[in-house]
Chain A
Amino acid sequence: MSLSVFAVDDSRTMREMIKFTLLQAGFQCHLAEDGQHGLEVLDSVRPDVIITDINMPRLDGFGFIDATRAREDTMSTPILVLTTESSAELKARAREAGATGWIVKPFDPDKLVRAIHMVAG
């Protein structure tokens, strides 16, 4: 069974690009528009990998990762942060929240796919 990937990003364009990339690579794909929505979707979807943006309305990426790690069913699900920023501070904060890895936007589709395999086989 193909890996199920769940991407959270407030930009519709970004969601469409991620979805396109994931489906091309043969993954299953679920999407959400912000952290809050992401947590709602996690009630019905159990992804193998989660991809999240950081700067989002309602609940940002840090909060989303925090909350995801606090859930029993997703406490060890790999979470990739997909963001335009790559400062050490951001990485430290993301990791503090429990992020597994990070990818910088604009992303190279191949790299995204490799990173997913990297954290989830």
Chain B
Amino acid sequence: MSDLLRLFFVIAFLTLGLAAYFLVVSTLFPNRVARTKSAIQSTPARSFGIGLVNFVFFAVIAIALFSGAEKSGPFIKTLLTIPALLITALLATMLSFGLAGMTSLIGERILPELTSWRQSILGTVCLCFACAPPFVGWFLLFPYAGLVGIGAFILGLFQREPKS
């Protein structure tokens, strides 16, 4: 029972932190998040494909660099670790924007009458708890949401500003 309670607390704290995180991301970069959200809405399958291709590529490169750094001397280790960390940071950034757009879209679809920040919080809570169940949440829903998010972020980079 106490393990279950502990798990619940971990998920609850994580949800709280992530809700604030996505809210801040949406507030600081509203255009970027809006474009990501629009890409998820209009082309989810393409977003997933682009997300998968790019995630695999960058993850392989990062693992290869980290792995190479482990086996090398101090100088080469530093030389390889820096790009590896940069690639990891790039992946984390893409994932952050992607999930911020995803949570906003989920919130909007569940309760369209709410304000945008409430929709973002609602989306984060729903996504966090939906990704918590073992196996289906960990290995299906979360990778899907993450990869669609990454792909939508990349697609959003190529979207043009609407002509005024």
Do A and B form a real pair? no
- Contacts from A to B (Cβ < 8 Å): none
